[in-house]
Amino acid sequence: MAALRASKGALRKELKRRVVALSAAEKQRQSRLLSDKLFKHPKYISSERIAVFLSMDDEVCTEEIIKDMFKRGKSCFIPRYQSNNSHMDMLKLSSLQDLETLPLTSWNIRQPTEDCKSREEALSSGGLDLMLMPGLGFDLFGGRLGRGKGFYDTYLRRCSKHPKGKPYTIALAFKEQLCQKIPVDANDVVIDEVLYEDQ
């Protein structure tokens, strides 16, 4: 267990270093390319209820994806993380304007406040068809290295108990985030597909 933690820790450092080396223009170029790839993806086209992360500086930018979801009339769900544990909910966003009114967290990403009881949580209603996954690193066997808090792994296990089951998962990755093999353990949920440049 300790060896796995150590190898994940070392890999996180290396991946952060790789992404920091990318220029803003390059991150933007790859983000646009991946958004276009996703818009043509059969799973995206057929999915009605989609969970998407609000991107940080070191992640593929999801802004165009969120705009496209509203344009196509899809239901958009975004994460609300609890900072003191690994609990995350996926809450419904009603519009782009709604997104702009959300407060910023210490990570500088917008998220619904703890006290907003009126928002629909994906699993308390119709579940999810598709979940777009963030991460620091990915391999082509479905291995994903997150930030170590376990938010997505825990949430996907909750999804598997929903009548609809686990949504299809697509990771959005800069090509610099691809690894030969991500070290994984029993708690790590394997993802279905990684979208990256050069496929």
Q: Which residues are annotated as a binding site for substrate?
A: 54, 59
User: Taking CA 6 as the corner, what is the angle to CA 186 and CA 18, rounded to the nearest 5 degrees?
Assistant: 100
Contact 137, 145 (CB under 8 A): yes
Where is the binding site for ATP, in residues?
8-12, 144-152
Contacts of 1 (CB under 8 A, 6+ apart): 185
End-to-end Cα distance, the chain? 33
Where is the binding site, in residues?
8-12, 54, 59, 144-152
Q: Which whole-number Å values give the CA distances from 115 to 26, 83, 112, in the listed order? A: 38, 15, 8
Return d(Cα 142, Cα 194) in angstroms, integer: 7
Contact 167, 132 (CB under 8 A): no
Element (H, E) at 168: strand 168-172
Q: How many CB atoms lie within 10 A of CB 2?
A: 6
